[in-house]
Amino acid sequence: MLKWDMKFSQDLLNFKGRVLAAETIYMSREIRINPEKASWDNDLKSNALFQPVSCTNWIFLYGQRDEGVARDLCNALQRVARGLGMEIGNPIVLPVRDDRDQTWVQAIDENTTPETQLVFALMGTNKKQRYDAIKKQCCIRKPVPSQCVLVKTVRMQAKVMAVATKVAIQMSCKLGGAAWAVKVPVKNTMVIGMDTYHDKR
């Protein structure tokens, strides 16, 4: 600051402000949140989503060695879905026989139909190349919503239900549902949130 011949004043500026009232969150019922925490994660455990969408025709891919984790996750997804007001049916299970990206892409290509609602990939590795290959297949070659989850995220039994809840919400939203809503008094207005920076480290 000295190079620019600048310095901070020792006296802070005082001004009058106001505290905005807490928003009402609309799910299956109205929820008043604590404005100091601004979180309603706990309310997700006891309330259905605002506009839930069920997923009854979906594909579940995973590496053969991760079959136990895949089974536990699938069961957890189906359990938490009921509390969210949606249904997650039994998927078409596709254990991938090897670790090549092309094998995953081929499994999607051979098993996706016009009736497929979603492709779910439980990935054993955080390889960007695999993630990109799956997303490219599902966005361009076989247009269908997709959900990717890492095995390490759900391997701990204590966390599987919490992770399953968040993943089920994402699945519903990707199929056109709405997790929650707030009251917007103005009409014909779209509110857009945008990330402007991501640290790649």
Q: CA torsion, points 97, 103, 105, 106, in degrees to nearest 10?
A: -90
Distance from C-alpha of 167 to C-alpha of 48, rounded to nearest angstrom: 15
Please tell me the least confidently modeled range out of 14-28, 121-135, 163-177: 14-28
Give Cα 153 to chain centroid, integer Å: 13
pLDDT confidence of 34, banded at 50, 70, 90?
confident
With H, G, I as helix, E, B as strand and everything else as coil, classify residue 101: helix
Distance from C-alpha of 36 to C-alpha of 31, rounded to nearest angstrom: 15
Report whether pLDDT(201) > 70. Answer: no
58 or 197, greater pLDDT: 58
Report whether pLDDT(169) > 80. Answer: yes
> Residue 26: CA atoms inside 13 Å, Cβ hemisphere, count?
8
pLDDT at 184: 80
Pairing of strands 92-96, 118-123: unpaired
Note the pTM of the prediction, 2 decimals.
Answer: 0.81
pLDDT at 145: 97
The residue whose two tokens read 């089920």 is 168
